[in-house]
Amino acid sequence: MRLPLRLFPPLPAPVRTASSVPAGKLDFVPACSTTDARSLELLQDFVSRFRRLFVVTGAGLSTESGIPDYRSEGVGLYARTDRRPMQHLEFTGSGRSRQRYWARNFVGWPQFSSHQPNCAHRALRSWEDSGKLHWLVTQNVDALHSKAGQRRLTELHGCAHRVTCLGCGTITPREDLQRRFVSLNPDWSAQAGAVAPDGDVFLEDEQVLNFRVPFCEQCGGVLKPEVTFFGDTVNKATVQFVHKRLAEADAVLVVGSSLQVFSGYRFLLAASDRKMPIAILNIGPTRADHLAELKVKGRCGEVLSVIQPL
């Protein structure tokens, strides 16, 4: 199909200032500068051809909400800092590691929890409303899809807004734990200037030593974010559930993920085995580029906001 003409004015268009662009088309203007019209048209064709899209999202979707990803060249956490994500065994095996982790998480929480969905999250929510999106699997733990109102959603790696007890499995809101941190550590403070955009902060060991970490109120067990740390595996029942949703879909769209982590990549392998068409929207290269019939380079929000769920 052809895109509605209003999305693609004849080129070359005169240079227009923002004030001359109707408010409803502002979203289109930046998209034109980074992703060419032909790529947008091909992606629109892909989205229009299928009725039950299985969408996989990753950190690239949330960078436009101010949350950095891990691997982007120059701007990702790995490139900018020497910080690395918490490893599962480090967290479960060391009280000192947990104390350091929670102290940093406590300081970063007000900022991290305040991030809001961007137009990419809102676009995918609207695709769900219009019946275009069959299921969405995200590797993100930032809750931005659920904040946008997405319901047909699996958070593959859990969610940082929930806390689980390693003893009894009770799930509690992260916000409740923040209140317990405050009451247990009334005189404890850290320098807020060191807060990183992902909620992690750097603290000196002396600062961490006095931070008190509460245990589960039900059983006294160790509390952990309900997040799959590196070195841990995704719950098998969750993986099986997602495979079923994939089998019900008719095409796969990857948005903002390099798919370097196997937990997400496995669904691309399964889709390829099923001969399902695959499209990828991402700024950089991905592990599944060779499996895709279409690869579009671009910012998720800019591109998705001009794609219609027709």
Binding site for Zn ion (CB under 5 A): 165, 167-168, 170, 216, 218-219, 221
The distance of closest approach from Cβ of residue 221 to Zn ion in the complex, given in angstroms and rounded to an integer, is 4
> Among residues 175 and 293, whose Cβ is nearest to Zn ion?
175
> Among residues 77 and 216, whose Cβ is nearest to Zn ion?
216
> Among residues 216 and 300, whose Cβ is nearest to Zn ion?
216
The distance of closest approach from Cβ of residue 252 to Zn ion in the complex, given in angstroms and rounded to an integer, is 38
* Residues 72, 90: Cα–Cα separation, whole Å: 25
Binding residues: 58-78, 139-142, 165, 168, 216, 219, 256-258, 282-284, 300
The distance of closest approach from Cβ of residue 224 to Zn ion in the complex, given in angstroms and rounded to an integer, is 11
Catalytic positions, please?
Answer: 157
Binding residues for Zn(2+): 165, 168, 216, 219
* Residues 301, 274: Cα–Cα separation, whole Å: 29
* Residues 21, 40: Cα–Cα separation, whole Å: 20
> Among residues 184 and 219, whose Cβ is nearest to Zn ion?
219
Binding residues for NAD(+): 58-78, 139-142, 256-258, 282-284, 300
The distance of closest approach from Cβ of residue 168 to Zn ion in the complex, given in angstroms and rounded to an integer, is 3
